């Protein structure tokens, strides 16, 4: 139970809905009234609004963020025998889609500060079979795009930016997603721009790539009955598109709210013994999809916060190369020392645009209490989830 009867959820989608309820309800009613469930005006309107906000010429919407990676890499020509370089720390979608196209996943370790792919370790991984790189702007932290592009271009590699956690993040003033050949986005409900179900999109400035992606996502044909190739069925539906169009108008404001909350955490948690704060590299503007600290006694800290009614998450508990599905690659911790080091130390704290001042202060003071060992009697006597012997 929460000690002060404060409950801080990891995120609060219902609180967000309540702030825009009238517009969302009207948008949903309008889709139902016009039965524009698949394709149609709501999808087209969202695609152009999203392309405009992301500073891209084309947006191809699809069923979810995982499909957006799959569709983009299919259109980029990924096939059996190819090798694709991806970071060792990400959500499984980034790499499972590489394997599903028959290519080999080549993991690259992460940079210890930003958790994004370490460009200094990419060169050594490039072989004659390498076709592309998938940098991930993990947690909303921009990857080092200048260094990545400088490696990709002379080697003839394409770059697909996984922007699932990074809508509106900037690198040297430029929006992420505009550096590579294409950018994939997820609108999973909990993402910075979230639908009320599954949804995703790819953006690009390459008209021919956009046409091939749209074709593949729609059974291989852009007009009914005209199947140029065999494709898949991956569509953004009208209801989700209408919901996303309403939410898109608030994305800039919500992003600022996340940035302000992150600034509060950075200030309040600075100097607390044992807490390693997220590092913002020079010239990067993260959008804080996740606010991730590191702590040597991560699980004890998480249990302590839980006992105070604070929900935390580990994104992700096992780095990709060490998951059972990649066992056949026989990777060792020493292959990816930074990603491996992080997996047992990272902890994502609550952060969402509607988070109150009281909530964030409570989280910060609860972390400070753990660091200082200033526990009240109730906790000290074990009426919480703290393992004994930690103080």
Ligand X SMILES: *Cc1c(COP(=O)(O)O)cnc(C)c1O
- Residue 66 C-beta: closest distance to ligand X, Å: 3
Cα-flanking dihedrals φ and ψ of residue 27, to 5°? -65, -45
| Site membership for ligand X, residue 107 (CB under 6 A) | no
- Taking CB under 6 A as the binding criterion, the range among 87-95, 118-126, 339-347, 380-388 that sits at the site for ligand X is 87-95
Residue 297 neighbours by CB distance under 10 Å:
15
Is 141 one of the binding residues for ligand X (CB under 6 A)? no
d(CA 97, CA 70): 5
Phi-psi region of 79 (alpha: psi -120 to 50; beta: other; left: phi over 0): beta
Burial of residue 45 (CB within 10 Å: 0-12, 13-18, 19+) is middle
Q: Does 255 bind ligand X (CB under 6 A)?
A: no
Q: Of 22-30, 33-41, 162-170, 342-350, which segment contacts ligand X by CB under 6 A?
A: 162-170
Shortest CB 372 distance to ligand X, Å:
34
Nearer to ligand X, 136 or 214 (CB): 136
Residue 90 lies near ligand X (rule: CB under 6 A): yes
Which of 11, 61, 93, 130 lies at the binding interface for ligand X (CB under 6 A)?
93
Q: Which helix (H) or strand (E) holds 302?
A: helix 298-307
Pick the piece of the chain touching ligand X (CB under 6 A) from 59-67, 169-177, 251-259, 364-372: 59-67
Cβ-based nearer residue to ligand X, 94 or 307: 94
The stretch near ligand X (CB under 6 A) out of 85-93, 104-112, 257-265, 332-340 is: 85-93
Stretch that binds ligand X, among 89-97, 205-213, 219-227, 261-269 (CB under 6 A): 89-97
**Minimal distance, residue 246 CB to ligand X, in Å:** 19
User: What Cα–Cα distance (Å) separates residue 101 from each residue in 29, 76, 104, 128, 356?
Assistant: 39, 11, 9, 18, 44
Q: Enter the tokens of residue 45.
A: 């309107």
Q: How far apart are CA 130 and CA 134, in angstroms?
A: 12
Q: Binding to ligand X (CB under 6 A): which residues in 108-137?
A: 136
Return the range that interacts with ligand X (CB under 6 A); candidates 91-99, 102-110, 151-159, 321-329.
Answer: 91-99
Rounded to an integer, what distance in angstroms lies between the CA atom of residue 35 and that of residue 120?
A: 52
Strands 170-171 and 158-162: unpaired
C-alpha span between 367 and 273 (Å, rounded)? 10
Parallel/antiparallel/unpaired status of strands 170-171 and 130-133: unpaired
Contact stretch for ligand X (CB under 6 A) within 22-30, 37-45, 58-66, 305-313:
58-66
Give the nearest residue (CB) to ligand X.
Answer: 65
DSSP 168: T
Instruction: Select the residue interacting with ligand X from 11, 16, 66, 312 (CB under 6 A).
Output: 66
For the CB of residue 270, give the shortest distance to ligand X in the complex, in Å. 27
Please report how close the Cβ of residue 92 comes to ligand X at its closest, in angstroms: 8
Other beta carbons less than 10 A from residue 173's beta carbon:
7
- In the chain, count of helices (H) and strands (E)? 13, 12
Residue identified by tokens 């590092």 is 279
Among 8, 47, 61, 65, binds ligand X (CB under 6 A): 65
β-partners of residue 130 are 83
**Positions 183 through 222 that interact with ligand X (CB under 6 A):** 186, 188, 198, 200
Question: Tell me, what DSSP letter sits at residue 129?
Answer: T
Minimal distance in Å, beta carbon 68 to ligand X? 7
Please tell me whether residue 162 binds ligand X under the rule CB under 6 A. Answer: yes
The residues with which 159 forms a beta bridge, in sequence order, are 133
Binding residues vs ligand X (CB under 6 A): 64-66, 90-91, 93-94, 136, 162, 164-165, 186, 188, 198, 200
């Amino acid at each position: 139970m929460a000690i002060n009867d404060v409950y801080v959820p990891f995120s609060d989608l219902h609180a967000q809905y309540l702030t825009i309820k009238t517009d969302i309800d009207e948008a949903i009613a309008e889709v139902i009234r016009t039965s524009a469930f698949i394709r149609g005006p709501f999808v087209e309107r969202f695609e152009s609004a999203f392309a405009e906000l992301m500073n891209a010429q084309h947006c191809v919407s699809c069923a979810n963020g995982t499909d957006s990676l799959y569709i983009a890499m299919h259109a980029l020509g990924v096939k059996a025998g190819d090798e694709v370089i991806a970071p060792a720390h990400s959500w499984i979608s980034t790499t499972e889609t590489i394997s599903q196209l028959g290519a080999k996943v080549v993991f690259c370790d992460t940079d210890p500060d930003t958790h994004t792919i370490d460009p200094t370790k990419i060169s050594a991984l490039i072989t004659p079979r390498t076709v592309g790189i998938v940098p991930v702007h993990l947690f909303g932290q921009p990857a080092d795009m200048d260094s990545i592009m400088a490696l990709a271009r002379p080697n003839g590699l394409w770059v697909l930016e996984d922007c699932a956690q990074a809508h509106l993040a900037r690198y040297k003033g430029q929006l992420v997603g505009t550096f590579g050949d294409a950018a994939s986005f997820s609108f999973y409900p909990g993402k910075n721009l979230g639908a009320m179900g599954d949804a995703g999109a790819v953006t690009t400035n390459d008209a021919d790539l956009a046409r091939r992606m749209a074709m593949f996502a729609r059974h291989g044909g852009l007009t009914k009955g005209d199947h140029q190739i065999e494709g898949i069925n991956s569509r953004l539906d009208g209801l989700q598109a209408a919901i996303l169009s309403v939410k898109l108008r608030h994305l800039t404001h919500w992003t600022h709210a996340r940035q302000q909350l992150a600034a509060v955490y950075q200030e309040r948690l600075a100097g607390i013994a044992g807490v390693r704060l997220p590092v913002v590299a020079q010239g990067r503007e993260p959008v804080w999809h996740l606010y991730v600290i590191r702590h040597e006694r991560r699980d004890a800290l998480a249990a302590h916060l839980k006992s105070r009614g604070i929900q935390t998450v580990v994104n992700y508990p096992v780095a990709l190369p060490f998951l059972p599905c990649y066992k056949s690659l026989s990777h060792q911790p020493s292959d990816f020392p930074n990603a491996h080091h992080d997996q047992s130390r990272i902890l994502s704290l609550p952060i969402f645009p509607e988070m109150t001042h009281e909530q964030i202060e409570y989280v910060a003071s609860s972390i400070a209490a753990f660091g200082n060992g200033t526990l009240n009697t109730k906790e000290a006597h074990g009426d919480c989830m703290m393992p004994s012997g930690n103080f």
